[in-house]
């Protein structure tokens, strides 16, 4: 049994990770300001008696330092959950991403915690010219402020490994989808159809194509990588081995709602918003060769998520 500190543990991905960590026999401390997470996402974890919840902001360095005593590993997932927000409020990702990561690392240093597992993103690759994109692809030039904050956080973690002798696992996520989702393309499509079941607006031309990974698969993969990879600095792509287009997602969501005669309307352009990467597919050989297999590939993950969110939202 380990004592595990999870930032953003009441969020979409974080709460599923907490469930898996407790299932594996760990005691978990969740640190979350509930700005996007929901306390009810932790109901199952709380019922086990192996969860402690701290309502705190990562930008409150003093509180964070005081909360991180006697910890074996930090899973750092807290961040701005909506990549599009950075197009209007330009310091959001700097503060909630890079500065928050510095505070986590500094709190670890002061408290003597030597292990961090970090939720990065495939957006650090920018518009990669090689697909599927392997972990050693470079140079890395992200095109969104969210991607820049994730890459900056990776740099800080790497520096802490080299300077203070910590051990780190960096996860570069594909698009993570599933139950408890609070944002993203499937969530948006369902809400649009709930408002008007006769039409569905799709940002861009619908040809955007990316890898999708189901959230419980993602949570299992994080724990697996920490167990199986033992370098001082480990970085692994987490995703499925295929892709799904936005047009296909729209079709699956409409089919899952049971609505008929829905008109799909595209706003045009090759990307959904400024900073959106139109096509992304990760090479996941490193993950699969370590013995991990996803329960869902992209299409099935989308269908599973659509059905789950429709039930949760009450369409």
Q: Which residues are catalytic?
A: 146
Strands (E), the chain: 3-7, 27-32, 51-55, 73-76, 115-121, 167-173, 175-177, 199-202, 209-210, 212-214, 233-238, 244-245, 263-266, 279-280
SS3 195: helix
Alpha-carbon span 16 to 38, nearest angstrom? 12
The CA distances from residue 49 to 1, 18, 31, 71, 138, in Å, are 14, 13, 16, 18, 45
Q: Please identify which residue in the block is written with the tokens 């930008």.
A: 59
152: Cβ contacts below 8 Å, ≥ 6 apart = 97, 98, 101
Length of the chain: 315
DSSP string, 95-159: IIIIIHHHHHHHHHHHHT--EEEEEEEGGGG-S-SSSSBPTT--S---SSHHHHHHHHHHHHHHH
Question: 298: closest CA among 310, 286, 306, 309?
Answer: 306
Strand partners, 177: 214
Any idea what the Cα angle at residue 119 is, between residues 28 and 26, rounded to 5°? 20
- Alpha-carbon torsion angle 101, 139, 85, 198, nearest 10: -130
> Helix crossing, 246-257 with 185-195: angle to 10°?
50
The token duo for 275 is 């900073």
Q: Please identify which residue in the block is written with the tokens 């902001």.
A: 57
């Amino acid at each position: 049994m380990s004592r595990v500190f999870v930032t953003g543990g009441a969020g979409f991905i974080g709460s599923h990770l907490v469930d898996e960590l407790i299932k594996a026999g760990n005691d978990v401390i969740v640190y979350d300001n509930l700005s996007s997470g929901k306390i009810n996402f932790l109901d199952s974890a709380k019922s086990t008696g192996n969860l402690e919840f701290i309502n705190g902001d990562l930008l409150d360095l003093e509180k964070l330092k005081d909360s991180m005593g006697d910890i074996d590993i930090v899973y750092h997932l807290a961040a701005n959950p909506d990549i599009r927000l950075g197009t209007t409020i330009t310091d959001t990702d700097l503060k909630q991403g890079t500065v928050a990561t510095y505070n986590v690392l500094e709190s670890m240093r002061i408290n003597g915690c030597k292990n961090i597992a970090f939720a990065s993103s495939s957006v650090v690759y920018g518009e990669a010219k090689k697909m599927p994109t392997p972990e050693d692809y470079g140079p890395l030039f992200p095109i969104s402020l969210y991607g820049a904050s994730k890459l900056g956080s990776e740099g800080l973690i790497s520096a802490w490994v080299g300077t203070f002798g910590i051990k780190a696992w960096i996860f570069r996520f594909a698009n993570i989808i599933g139950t408890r989702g609070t944002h993203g393309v499937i969530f948006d499509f369902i809400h649009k159809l709930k408002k008007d079941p006769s039409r569905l607006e799709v940002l861009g031309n619908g040809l955007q194509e990316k890898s999708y990974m189901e959230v419980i698969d993602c949570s299992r993969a994080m724990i697996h990588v920490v167990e199986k990879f033992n370098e001082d600095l480990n970085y692994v792509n987490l995703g499925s081995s295929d892709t799904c287009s936005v047009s296909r997602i729209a079709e699956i969501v409409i089919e899952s709602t049971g609505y008929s005669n829905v008109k799909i309307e595209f706003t045009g352009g090759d990307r959904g918003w400024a900073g959106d990467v139109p096509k992304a597919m990760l090479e996941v050989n490193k993950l699969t060769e370590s013995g991990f297999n996803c329960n869902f590939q992209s299409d099935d993950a989308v269908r599973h998520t659509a059905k789950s969110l429709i039930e949760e939202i009450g369409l």
